[in-house]
């Protein structure tokens, strides 16, 4: 028989993402209690079987696990600073940085609550599918106690005991996203000057992005070992090609800020004596304040 307490979940915050979280939990058959500052946002979920808690304290008491999804951490403090948290387990899926996550963990602990932090690497319509990657950090036993329930939300990943890890992975992943998107747009702008539309360029760009992604595990070995012996191309060889990219961009009349940034960092690394080493030696530049 299902233990009702273990499969009951509360969701605080029913914005676009909170509604998607509660919807996925309901769809998976979990007893779901919801609360939102603007109560009307619960109407659809209530029609689907959710229970609308009349107060925050009622919402917190209703379930073994409370998922928080608000605009930011200060909204969470506004909402919960005067609530009874003793004995609750909170999973905060609100976006923030690692310092906010660690501070929130201390705040929750002082209030007698168990605390997990998390980050949602997905858009609301993907919730409840494997495409929705949800990162978690905090005590492993607290994660494991709710892992099977959380599986209703998507692909659930545990990163480690440090509460800040989910936020750190979140921003690291966003760096990857914006870097690839900006590189794609740079190339699309250049090719447009030759009458090549983005749709024609897209398959080649996709192949390049996927090909470069294949290099990451070997680069990781070099970064982790601190040894950057050149195996395929020295940093100074890259820089000569970066010059072509800058000159071509300027000649075509497209923005050259991004190529100049690539070269400025590589030039500093060469000036520090690393021109004969392999590209990941640039980690030394990225590791500086």
> Is there a contact between 57 and 84 (Cβ–Cβ < 8 Å)?
yes
Q: How far is the CB of 262 from ligand NAP (least distance, A)?
A: 29
102 part of the interface to ligand NAP, by CB under 6 A: no
| Distance (Å, whole) CA 52 – CA 262 | 52
Residue 77 as a binder of ligand NAP (CB under 6 A): the answer is no
**Local structure of residue 113 (DSSP, 8 states):** -
Q: Which is nearer to ligand NAP, 102 or 268 (CB)?
A: 102
Token pair for 58: 């009622």
Minimum CB distance to ligand NAP smaller for 65 or for 70 = 70
Q: Interface with ligand NAP includes 52 (CB under 6 A)? A: no
Given 3-state DSSP classes, what are the helix, strand and coil percentages for the chain, each rounded to the nearest 5?
Answer: 55, 15, 30
Contacts of 10 (CB under 8 A, 6+ apart): 32, 33, 34, 35, 53, 59, 60, 62, 63, 65, 66, 67
Interaction between residue 133 and ligand NAP (CB under 6 A)? no
Task: Pick one of 11, 69, 85, 101: the residue that binds ligand NAP (CB under 6 A).
Answer: 69
CB of 96 vs ligand NAP, minimal distance in Å: 7
The site string for ligand NAP over 191-230 (x = CB under 6 A, - otherwise) reads ----------------------------------------
Rounded Cα distance between 226 and 284, Å, is 10
User: Does 123 participate in binding ligand NAP (rule CB under 6 A)?
Assistant: yes
Residue from 24, 64, 120, 235 in contact with ligand NAP (CB under 6 A): 120
Quick one: which of 41, 102, 111, 268 contacts ligand NAP (CB under 6 A)?
41
H/E stretch holding 175 reads helix 165-192
Q: Is residue 159 near ligand NAP by the rule CB under 6 A?
A: no
For residue 72, give the nearest of 13, 28, 32 by alpha carbon: 13
Q: Going by C-beta distance under 8 Å and a sequence separation of 6 or more, which residues neighbour residue 22?
A: 11, 14, 32, 34, 45, 50
Q: Which of 45, 50, 53, 70 binds ligand NAP (CB under 6 A)?
A: 70
Give the nearest distance from C-beta 19 to ligand NAP in angstroms.
7
Residue 26, both tokens? 């309901």
Residues in the chain: 289
Cβ distance to ligand NAP smaller for residue 14 or 190: 14
CB atoms within 10 A of CB 135: 22
CB-nearer residue toward ligand NAP: 94 or 222: 94
Segment interacting with ligand NAP (CB under 6 A) among 15-23, 146-154, 219-227, 242-250: 15-23
Binding site for ligand NAP (CB under 6 A): 13-18, 36-38, 41, 69-71, 75, 78-79, 94-95, 120, 123-124
């Amino acid at each position: 028989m299902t233990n009702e307490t273990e499969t009951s979940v509360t969701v605080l915050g029913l914005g676009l993402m909170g509604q998607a979280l509660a919807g996925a939990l309901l769809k998976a058959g979990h007893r779901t209690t919801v609360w939102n500052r603007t109560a009307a946002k619960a109407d659809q979920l209530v029609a689907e079987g959710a229970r609308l808690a009349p107060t925050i304290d009622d919402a917190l008491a209703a379930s073994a696990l409370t998922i928080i999804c608000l605009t930011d951490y200060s909204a969470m403090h506004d909402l919960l600073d005067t609530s009874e948290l003793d004995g609750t387990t909170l999973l905060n899926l609100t976006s923030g940085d690692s310092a906010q996550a660690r501070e929130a963990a201390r705040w929750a602990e002082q209030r007698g609550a168990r605390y997990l932090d998390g980050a949602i690497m997905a858009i609301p319509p993907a919730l409840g599918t494997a495409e929705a990657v949800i990162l978690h950090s905090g005590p492993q036993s607290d994660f494991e106690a709710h892992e099977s329930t959380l599986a209703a939300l998507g692909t659930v990943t545990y990163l480690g005991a440090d509460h800040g890890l989910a936020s750190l992975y979140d921003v690291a992943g966003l760096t990857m996203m914006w870097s690839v998107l900006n590189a794609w747009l740079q190339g699309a702008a250049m090719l447009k000057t030759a009458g090549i539309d983005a749709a024609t360029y897209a398959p080649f760009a996709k192949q390049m992005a996927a090909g470069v992604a294949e290099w990451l595990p070997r680069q990781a070995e070099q970064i982790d070992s601190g040894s950057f012996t050149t195996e395929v191309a020295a940093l100074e060889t890259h820089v000569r090609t970066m010059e072509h990219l800058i000159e071509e961009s300027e000649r075509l009349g497209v923005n050259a800020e991004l190529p100049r940034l690539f070269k400025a960092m590589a030039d500093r690394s060469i000036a520090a004596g690393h021109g004969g080493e392999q590209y990941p030696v640039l980690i030394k530049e990225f590791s500086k304040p």
